Structure 1
Amino acid sequence: MNADFLIVGQGIAGSVLAWTLDQRGCSVILADDPGLPSASAVAAGIVNPLTGRKLVRTWNADELFPFLHQFYRSIEQQLGVQFFHSKTIYRPFRSDDERKTYQELTADPAVRPYVTESPEDASYSQWINNPFGGLSVAQAGWVDLNEFVRLIKGYFIQKNQYYEGRVEQTDLVVGDTSAAWKGITFNRVIFCDGVQAQQNPLFNWLPFNPVKGQILTALVDGYSIPDIVNQGVFILPVRPGLIRIGATYSWHDLDWEISDDGREYLEAKVRAVLKIPYEIVNQQAGIRPSTKDRRPFVGLHKGKPVAGIFGGMGTKGVSLAPYLAEQFARHLLDGEELDSEANISRCVSL
């Protein structure tokens, strides 16, 4: 039996790439080990074009954001489902000085398309501490990642192109022109397995810089703000009365365990923003596959070009994956060049 691609790992990266290649007419086997932890299973799935106190525009935002909105909507239409929620992000100011600083930042022509001029501050004030007002970030939203991954899994199961289990390196033979695994010959094998790539002898030389993150889930009676709120911590409305609160960032203690420190940090942050009582009902931890230069890892192995990688997207996988998957597909199928900032060729000297 022959197939075009073996995709190893079905988080956000593997799901998006498998779908993209499938829609181009390729035969794709999608493999995932449910026994391995997944950052996508924990992540809030927020897409945000402007981040941090300085309203830093996401890398390649002008291309990424129109593309991701179209990409997720097209899957919803094709499968008759909903998992993508287009939202505004409301950012209350901490002080009058911050308000003035943000007004200067939003005058930048590169930032202006992502900002709503006059949010209705009063509509938030029943629940959110915003005495200095705030600004609203447009073209944002969130992907229900557990639902999205489940739907993509079901799609490939229905096509009999899904394998649930670990792809052992000892079972995978990567040759000069093809790869073989479980009696199937593949033109290419692409690893989309997050931080597990650090244990892959083909790609363990890449400069990953993993980041642990924790989020909380809470009940909040009467909370009906439809938008995401962000002020040093995000408050994501999953449905009326249920929110997610996040996230922590730690480059130490890189395990998948929740911690009291993480919960205390997030609760201290959210108490400064949220006016009304809440009840924590869940806490989760994950390790994001971030990189040293904060750019993704996309491309083929220089010595074994049958093997490729699609990952290293850190906290922005939901935003980056659709556009980069399309670019990678054009590289693999049409010979087009990859973005030099994402291409792993930038790291070959390592």
Structure 2
Amino acid sequence: MEQHDYDYLIVGQGIAGTSLAMHLLDLGKKILIVNDSGAPSSSQVAAGIFNPLTGKKLVKTWLADDLFPYAKGFYAYLEAIFGQQIVHQAPIYRPFRSIAEQNTYLAQSADPKIASYIKQDGDLADLSNYIHADFGGLEVIKSGWIDLPVLLEQSRNYFLEYDLLVDEQFDVNALSVSKEAVVWKEKTFGKLVLCQGFKALENGFFNWLPFTPVKGQILEIETEVALPNYIVNQGIFMFPVSEKVSRVGATYSWDPLDWEPTKEATEELKEKLDTLLKIPYRIRSEVAGIRPSVRDRRPLIGVHPDYDNVAIFNGLGTKGVTLAPFFANELAQHLENGKELNPLVNIQRYFSLYFR
């Protein structure tokens, strides 16, 4: 068997690349990550919310019963390694817009498929001092947010400490891929995994996949009083990251697809926030990112149709913090042990686009 300098070259150290790297390390693999920490990253600006019930109709998040327990264990593992809090548990408060909506939601909450994710008894939240909630609201539990900037910084420091990361722009011209070998800057690798998010459109391996990237903007606001530890969700989300500082988002736009916040997006968020929040606030900052979304809203995971040593882990969209840990394990097991990937995420579903 041919010996390589490394088992894996991972391009990108967002939530996808970081999760995959940790799983491969647990399997005893020798890895090298290439990531430019100075480049824009959707993982760095994402809200990081994990929410088991989504949409206006209280639909259980796809694979929630598998994704959420797995993510909980994975992030607890990272917290133990880094000695720093990453997970912030917080219920999601969904204010009712009307009596009709209240009746509809309360009827839905009896559905055994979602009942375990809804607070059923005890004292329900009263946030009426802070937000407009004349008809009360529904409390979603087993939810919260992941501090992605802290997670990525701590992971980066960990990878650097053990010489597992090269902090530079990935030079594709220094890459040579054949069916026998992956070579990058005179180092050889058993496999290449591209975890580049939106930048996947810039390489020739996977730019044929049906990405539908979406730009999103988030505000950071400061209030005069401390807000309770709830994620409020009504058209927009709002949650405190410290005593008087909260994040508010998010917008969806397709033109232009750049990383610059816009006045229009700020005004859109401010208008929605003004109808929700009762108390004064000021805007501290605005950030924008490009989500690596996909036409069918499922991740893009799997091996290239022509090169069995080139794989992709991408398309996690707005639910990256719950999808990444579970499917990092699935991909690692697929690459190392031949475990079948879920056909709903396997890029084989789009091979016809490559061969046409």
- TM-score, length of structure 1 as denominator length: 0.97
Structure 2 residue aligned with 1:213, among 200, 211, 216?
216
Q: Aligned equivalents of 2:125 and 2:35: distance in 1?
A: 47
Aligned to 1:58: 61
Aligned: 1:191 with 2:194: yes
Q: Aligned equivalents of 1:80 and 1:291: distance in 2?
A: 35
Q: Aligned equivalents of 2:91 and 2:218: distance in 1?
A: 20
- Please state how far the C-alpha of 1:108 moved relative to its aligned partner: 2.2
The code of the aligned residue for 2:247 comes to: R
Name the SS of the counterpart of 2:352 in structure 1: coil
Runs of 4+ in 1 over 2 A off after TM superposition: 118-123
Report sequence identity in percent: 45
Aligned to 2:128: 125
Aligned: 1:284 with 2:267: no
The code of the aligned residue for 2:191 comes to: R
Structure 2 residue aligned with 1:328, among 301, 321, 331?
331
C-alpha deviations, 1:181-201, integer Å up to 9, x for none? 112111111000101001110
Q: Aligned equivalents of 1:102 and 1:249: distance in 2?
A: 26
Aligned to 2:102: 99
The code of the aligned residue for 2:187 comes to: I
Q: Aligned equivalents of 1:332 and 1:113: distance in 2?
A: 35
Q: Aligned equivalents of 1:26 and 1:98: distance in 2?
A: 52
Aligned to 2:272: 269
Q: Aligned equivalents of 1:282 and 1:70: distance in 2?
A: 33
The code of the aligned residue for 2:166 comes to: Y
- Please state how far the C-alpha of 1:48 moved relative to its aligned partner: 0.8
Q: Are 2:125 and 2:139, in contact at CA under 8 Å, matched by a contact in 1?
A: no
Structure 2 residue aligned with 1:84, among 79, 87, 99?
87
Aligned to 2:74: 71
- TM-score, length of structure 2 as denominator length: 0.96
Q: Are 2:213 and 2:294, in contact at CA under 8 Å, matched by a contact in 1?
A: yes
Structure 2 residue aligned with 1:17, among 1, 14, 20?
20
- Please state how far the C-alpha of 1:109 moved relative to its aligned partner: 2.0
Which sections of structure 2, spanning at least 5 residues, go unmatched? Answer: none
Aligned to 2:142: 139
Structure 1 residue aligned with 2:167, among 154, 164, 168?
164
Q: Are 1:119 and 1:135, in contact at CA under 8 Å, matched by a contact in 2?
A: no
Aligned to 2:39: 36
Q: Are 1:117 and 1:135, in contact at CA under 8 Å, matched by a contact in 2?
A: no
Could you tell which deviates more after superposition, 301-310 or 116-125? 116-125
Aligned to 2:240: 237
The code of the aligned residue for 1:340 comes to: P
Q: Aligned equivalents of 2:184 and 2:73: distance in 1?
A: 35
Q: Aligned equivalents of 1:79 and 1:278: distance in 2?
A: 34
The code of the aligned residue for 2:190 comes to: N
Q: Are 2:42 and 2:290, in contact at CA under 8 Å, matched by a contact in 1?
A: yes
Aligned to 1:342: 345
Aligned: 1:299 with 2:323: no
User: Are the structure 2 counterparts of residues 180 and 119 from structure 1 closer, same or farther at C-alpha, using a change threshold of 3 Å?
Assistant: farther
- Please state how far the C-alpha of 1:119 moved relative to its aligned partner: 6.9
- Please state how far the C-alpha of 1:75 moved relative to its aligned partner: 1.1
C-alpha deviations, 1:226-278, integer Å up to 9, x for none? 12111111111101000000000113321111111101111111112111000
Which sections of structure 1, spanning at least 5 residues, go unmatched? Answer: none
Aligned to 1:3: 6
Aligned to 1:248: 251
Q: Are 2:91 and 2:144, in contact at CA under 8 Å, matched by a contact in 1?
A: yes
Q: Aligned equivalents of 1:164 and 1:66: distance in 2?
A: 32
Tell me the matched-pair count: 350
Aligned: 1:202 with 2:210: no
Q: Aligned equivalents of 1:326 and 1:151: distance in 2?
A: 20
C-alpha deviations, 1:94-133, integer Å up to 9, x for none? 1111111111222222211211124745631211211111
Q: Are 2:21 and 2:31, in contact at CA under 8 Å, matched by a contact in 1?
A: yes
Q: Are 1:119 and 1:136, in contact at CA under 8 Å, matched by a contact in 2?
A: no
Q: Are 1:121 and 1:130, in contact at CA under 8 Å, matched by a contact in 2?
A: no
Q: Aligned equivalents of 2:29 and 2:321: distance in 1?
A: 23
Q: Are 2:49 and 2:145, in contact at CA under 8 Å, matched by a contact in 1?
A: yes
Could you tell which deviates more after superposition, 109-118 or 211-220? 109-118
CA RMSD of aligned residues (A): 1.3
The code of the aligned residue for 2:51 comes to: N
User: Are the structure 2 counterparts of residues 118 and 275 from structure 1 closer, same or farther at C-alpha, using a change threshold of 3 Å?
Assistant: farther
Q: Aligned equivalents of 1:122 and 1:64: distance in 2?
A: 27
Q: Aligned equivalents of 2:187 and 2:38: distance in 1?
A: 23
Q: Are 2:259 and 2:289, in contact at CA under 8 Å, matched by a contact in 1?
A: yes
Name the SS of the counterpart of 1:76 in structure 2: helix
Aligned: 1:113 with 2:119: no
Q: Aligned equivalents of 2:180 and 2:154: distance in 1?
A: 32
